Amino acid sequence: MSEGAGLVVFDAAAGQPLRREVLQQMWPWLTGAGGNPSSVHELGRAARATWDDAVERVGAALGAAGQRITITSGATEADNLAIKGIMAAQVAAGRSHVVISAVEHSAVRESAAWLGHHGVEVSICPVDAAGHLRQDALVDLVTEHTGLVSVGLASAEIGTVQQVPQIAAIAHARGAVVHTDAVQAVGSVPVRFDELGVDALTLSAHKLGGPVGAGALITRWSTPIEAQLHGGGQQDGLRAGTQDVAAAIGLAAAVELAVAEQAAQPIEQSSALRDRLIDEVGRLVPQAMLTGDPGIQRLPRHLSWCVPGVSGESLLVDLEARGFLCSSGSACAAGRDEPSPTLLALGIDAQAALGALRVTLPREATAAQADGFAHALAEVLSCRVR
């Protein structure tokens, strides 16, 4: 969390500043001669060895040792590769149906929509009022023609954590491949590829204090998938283009640090400040409606509300004037004036959904800052009433 000019940043889900420990590991490959990992000379061999080591580190940290790990330019590219690449292979095998949840990130939602424009049947699985995927509905939606089921592990907008292992079991019973976007979950809750039961998993570096422009798609070697970028055949032919060794190192370092810090702090401890702020806002701002799961199936530092009759964007301006930087939902949807599809899927009225407010606490946030935010929000709304 940065506090330049007296500002408290409560927008960790949008991204974290590059960590010094990460930059130190990247630095030699940002400033030195560096080689192309595809070159056969000494510099190229050194670059390839460093690249391979970074990839192995990512796999080891996330319970994906020995799996196929494709380094990408970020989670958006990784989601596109997962959705479009897996379905390209599945359509060729006669499975032309994809299912996503109603609360997916726009990278998944728009990739599925693109498939829909190109002949793939797309089904949206409904969620309950807390944002949990309705597994009874999923059972009815998944058929022998379903090629892919994609459900995010945790929502960036409402913080709800999905029961992915159970969802994966339902999809696998009909032979479908399962993908999960775990961008918001890594570093916040335990994430192990080998325990989730999925076939593909997306992650991002900059959400963890790594570099912007680095992400990865983890897939099982048995998962059918076709490349979406073609060229020199790098990364086992799945993602052409010269490998960015510094980005891979930064991703590996950020993932290792985030996973280690999460493991060292029990969920109950990391959730304590979130729960304190939920109670304080509930006391001071009773009209604010908490969105997402209200209990243990929620990211430990994530809070979100809808404030009826108030514009979320104007709330952000007024809160910034009082020293707090927050968001009105996913950073990828900032600046839009229509209600969030995620909030509408929860059954929230469109007008109320326009008053969305999201607070995501960094690890170093304090109780005093949380209390200060609750009072600032109350003050903002009391001024509007007058």
**Residue 295 in tokens:** 């209990």
d(CA 168, CA 162) in angstroms, rounded, equals 11
Q: Provide the annotated active-site residues.
A: 332
Q: Going edge to edge, which strands form the sheet with 302-306?
A: 289-290, 302-306, 356-360
DSSP per-residue letters across 291-352? -S-SSSSB-TTEEEEE-TTS-HHHHHHHHHHTTEE-BSS-GGGTT--SPPHHHHHTT--HHH
Instruction: Give the dihedral of Cα atoms 108, 114, 116, 122; nearest 10 deg.
Output: 0
Cβ atoms of 243 and 54 within 8 Å: the answer is no
Alpha helices, DSSP H, located in 37-134 = 42-61, 75-80, 86-92, 106-116
Contact 167, 135 (CB under 8 A): yes
Burial 289-315 (b: 16+ CB within 10 A, else e): ebbbbeeebbbbbbbbbbbeebebbeb
245-264 helix and 42-61 helix, angle to the nearest 10 degrees: 20
Give me 272's structure tokens: 């304590």
**Phi/psi of residue 132, each to 5°?**
-80, 135
**Cα–Cα distance between 319 and 380 in angstroms, integer?**
7
Tell me the C-alpha distance between 106 and 155, whole Å. 11
Measure the CA–CA gap between 189 and 259, rounded to whole angstroms.
9
Count of CB atoms situated within 10 Å of the CB of 62: 24
Considering just the CA atoms, what is the radius of gyration of the chain in Å? 21
